[in-house]
Chains A and B, each alone.
Chain A
Amino acid sequence: MIQVTNLTKTFIDPKRGAIHAVDHVSFAVHAGEIFGLLGPNGAGKTTALRLLATVMRPSEGTAVLGGHDILREPEAVRNQIGFLSGDMGLYHRLTPRETLTFFGRLHGLNGAPLKSRIGEMFARLDMEKFADTQVDKLSTGMRQRVAIARTLVADPPILILDEPASGLDVPAARVIEEFILEARKTGKTIILSTHVMEEAEYLCDRIAVIHQGQIKIVGTMAELRAATGKERLREIFLSLLGLEALERKAPHAS
């Protein structure tokens, strides 16, 4: 469903010179799986996801999402994805209904099908009571549901989630986790970035550890344990940051 090949993003800093935020990264995400990009702050997770969402253009390499190349068909790629980040990115002066209508229309939905889809989202996420209240008057939990509904309104097959639970308290983070697991049940392909070990271990079918723009290892938890000889993801993660040689042993890095 997602094939990333040699994806690279280099920024030129006047003081520090060339910075490889994403450095020749390659991996594949299979249809219907949750794929985690795990890395410390500044590892290149957000930049990698922005490249996949075609918000930025790669310096080298490419990626194909749902059969569409990010360089050649960026618009078709964006039609296939739903993007969500921890800060939600909601228009505070719009109501949830207006928000969903706006993003639904941008995805080409209109008229009765859009209305029915919005109604379905409101019912599923229990949003009817505040559907016509401006977002700036809603609680964090309500806003979270608006952000989830916006991501799903066009029913995209691929979800790109950039630290979706970042900055949220435990109950709010739980809502996001449920949303992700529910999305997998409906067959969505999900790529999510996180620096929270628990979250990655609990949610992801496969995990890629990214550090300084490079993928250190890719695999299921069992494969990561086997490759590193460590039991807990935290230990695996820390050992990988210091043992770069393990990168070559990674079973699924492709």
Chain B
Amino acid sequence: MPLNSISVLYRKEMLDTVRDRRTIISMVLVPIAAIPLLFLGMQKIISFVEKKAGQESLTISVQGGDRLPGLLNALAGAGFKFAAQPDLKAAVESKAIAAGVEAVVLPSGAKEVRLYADDTLQASQVAAGKIRMALDQFKVNSSRLRLQALGVPEEVLSPFTVKRVDLAPPKKMAGMVWGGMLGYVVVLLMFSGGMYPAIDLTAGEKERRTLEMLLSSPAGRYEIILAKVLAATTAIAITALLSLSSLAISLHYVDFGKGAKMLQGMTLDVRVLALVALALVPMAIMAASLMIGIALFAKSFKEAQSYLTPLVMAVVFPLVAGMLPGIQLTPALALVPLFNVCQLIKEIFQGDFNRLSFAITMASNLVYAGIAFLAAVQVFKSEKVLFRT
């Protein structure tokens, strides 16, 4: 009875798989730890860089301050500390100061403030930005005082004000920034999580000489390969679920600090997680079939690893394309495997996905999964592959 055989084979494959230490690490531990570590790591890096740049950017040097009364006060009010330097250009280049300010009186009598900064140095770039803002404010304040002295209303200076209304809700913004990256991380984890079980179920069986025993049992070839693909799919699905759960828990309970403000806008409700999980199902079958089909060619675990590692690396390219800003999931792009699912996840996180693109992504990935499975069946039926010496 094929269904009974498939169930017996599947249960044995799962039992064998969950007892493999390497599989448990790649299927369970890595997905649970990867996302919180990724967030925490990024938060640490961002805050470290910001803090370092903030501290370094505070020291500047001003020359000719007496030519422009109020200049030093304006800059001191912006938080800058002053260090005397004879040559501003050299001091910026040697990083002794973040930026240099020089007030000069032109031959025409007009006053000019020169700003010395190096945009390739982050501290210098930050300092230049702050100085520019402080100078703008200083200019406005000076003008205001002069107008007041002349009895001219202040509104002359600003006939209108500009207010920017950001149409992207925080959820959409967070989804755009994080969704692409999280989709990429989850898909990559799925491939790496499925790699060891796929190898163990194929090349591992060959290496341990158990495959011949299985082939001489009443189970049919189709049933055996189907059970193996199902077991690898389950391992990949477990990796995906753990990754997503870890993501949801991280967002709700882990304090990522100020550096990850963007995350606060990202809400992961059951509907979002269910949609992402659904989008990942065909990809899990495709990844399992592909890895099983390839690993079958290998005679040993090591050989299979050398076959599958480039595949996992190749997966990166379509995924990275999905992370690029401005790329939309059009119905045509929904036909591109891996890219489509990564992009779809991004749009689901943004809370703004196109139903047609969702349907095309699901359908095309199901077709690719079917093709990959049939290819794996053909490989498994090949005596040349199974008994390669």
Contacts and interface: CB of A to CB of B under 8 A. Distances in A.
Interface of A: 50, 53-57, 75, 78-79, 81, 83, 85, 87-94, 98, 102-103, 105-108, 134, 150, 160
Given A98-B15, A106-B5, A89 B213 contact: yes
12 contacts: A55-B215, A55-B216, A75-B220, A78-B218, A85-B212, A87-B209, A89-B211, A90-B210, A93-B15, A94-B15, A98-B15, A103-B213
B219 interface: yes
B258 interface: no
A56 B209 contact: no
Given A56-B387, A93-B19, A102-B8, A85 B209 contact: yes
B216 to A, nearest CB: 4
A102 B387 CA distance: 24
A88 B213 CA distance: 9
A53 B216 contact: yes
Contacts of B217: 78, 103, 106-107
B220 A83 contact: no
Contact of B216 (A94, A134, A160): A160
A50 B8 CA distance: 24
Nearest to B387: A56
B383 interface: yes
A94 B12 CA distance: 9
B20 interface: yes
Contacts of B20: 93
Contact of B209 (A53, A89, A106, A150): A89
A150 B212 CA distance: 14
Interface size class of chain B, counting residues whose CB lies under 8 Å from the partner chain = 20 to 34
A57 B386 CA distance: 13
A54 B217 CA distance: 9
A134 B20 CA distance: 12
Contacts of B220: 75
Contact of A56 (B5, B211, B219, B383): B383
Going nearest first, the 7 A-B pairs with the smallest beta carbon separation are A83-B216, A89-B213, A93-B19, A53-B216, A105-B8, A87-B209, A89-B209
Contacts of B19: 93, 134
Nearest to B11: A102
Contacts of A81: 216
A55 B221 CA distance: 10
B208 interface: yes
B45 to A, nearest CB: 40
A133 to B, nearest CB: 13
Interface string B346-380: 00000000000000000000000000000000000
Contacts of A85: 209, 212-213
Nearest to A56: B383
Central interface residue in A53, A103, A105, by most chain B CB within 10 Å: A105
B154 interface: no
B218 A106 contact: yes
Contacts of A54: 216
Interface centre among B9, B212, B213, B387 (most CB of A within 10 A): B213
B383 to A, nearest CB: 5
B218 A79 contact: yes
B155 to A, nearest CB: 82
Contacts of B8: 102, 105-106
Contacts of A90: 208, 210
Contacts of B16: 91, 93-94
Given A56-B383, A98-B15, A102-B12, A89 B218 contact: no
Contacts of A87: 209
A68 to B, nearest CB: 12
Contacts of A75: 218, 220
Contact of B383 (A57, A107, A134): A57
B203 to A, nearest CB: 15
Interface in B1-17: 1, 4-5, 8-9, 12, 15-16
A169 B209 CA distance: 20
A79 B8 CA distance: 16
A108 B3 CA distance: 12
Contacts of B5: 106
A83 B216 CA distance: 7
A87 B207 CA distance: 11
Nearest to B20: A93
A53 B383 CA distance: 14
A173 to B, nearest CB: 18
A98 B212 CA distance: 18
A91 B210 contact: yes
Nearest to B381: A57
Interface string B194-234: 00000000000000111111011111100000000000000
A83 B387 CA distance: 17
A171 B32 CA distance: 49
Contacts of B15: 93-94, 98
Contacts of A150: 213
A204 to B, nearest CB: 21
Nearest to A80: B218
B208 A89 contact: yes
A134 B21 CA distance: 14
Contacts of A56: 383, 387
Contact of B208 (A79, A92, A106): A92
